Amino acid sequence: MRALGLDVGSKTIGVAVSDEGGVIATAREVLARRGQEADARAVQELVVREAAGAIVVGLPLELDGREGHRARRVRVFVRALERALAGQEQPGAAARSEGAGGAAVAIILWDERFSTSAAERTLLEADLSRARRRQKIDAVAAQFILQGWLDAQQTGASA
């Protein structure tokens, strides 16, 4: 099953995609934020294009594990995404929605603490310029989020 990984920020959404076997995550693209509903529709289009069965959304917890304002903003986006995937406009749609081919698309929240700093280290080691790092950082952070979830699926761990 192919999965999408999302690093949802205030200005951009980093996107990563897994291989069909669900083993390797690859940084794909960065979407400019245009509003919750438009962003949710853009992700819905990615689900269809990639035939994804799961969406792993990074949840930016505080260092002590509590949810702060950034995590609450991500949850607002997830609710918009649930509505877009379900084709409904009412709040409180189910966390599993009909996606491409009628198959259910799972939305999974995954602890993303340190994903951006890990992505930054990786891009620094690759010797990318500051401008190129800024262009790629969110997609690489999404890759770290998705790869963490994929690895946990292989070992049977959970978030």
Q: Looking at the 3D structure of the chain, how many domains does it have?
A: 1
Most confident of 35-39, 58-62, 65-69: 35-39
| Class of residue 50 by CB neighbours under 10 A (exposed 0-12, middle 13-18, buried 19+) | middle
Give the number of other CB atoms < 10 A from CB of residue 102: 6
- Mean pLDDT (the chain, rounded): 83
DSSP secondary structure code for residue 66 in this structure: -
Whether the per-residue pLDDT at 35 is higher than 70: the answer is: yes
pLDDT band at 98 (very low <50, low <70, confident <90, very high): very low
| CATH classification at residue 33 | 3.30.420.140
Whether the per-residue pLDDT at 155 is higher than 50: the answer is: yes
Q: What is the pLDDT of residue 65?
A: 84
Q: What is the pLDDT of residue 12?
A: 96
| Class of residue 74 by CB neighbours under 10 A (exposed 0-12, middle 13-18, buried 19+) | buried
Q: Nearest to residue 29, comparing CAs of 43, 48, 10, 41? A: 43
Question: Which range marks the domain in which residue 35 is found?
Answer: 2-155
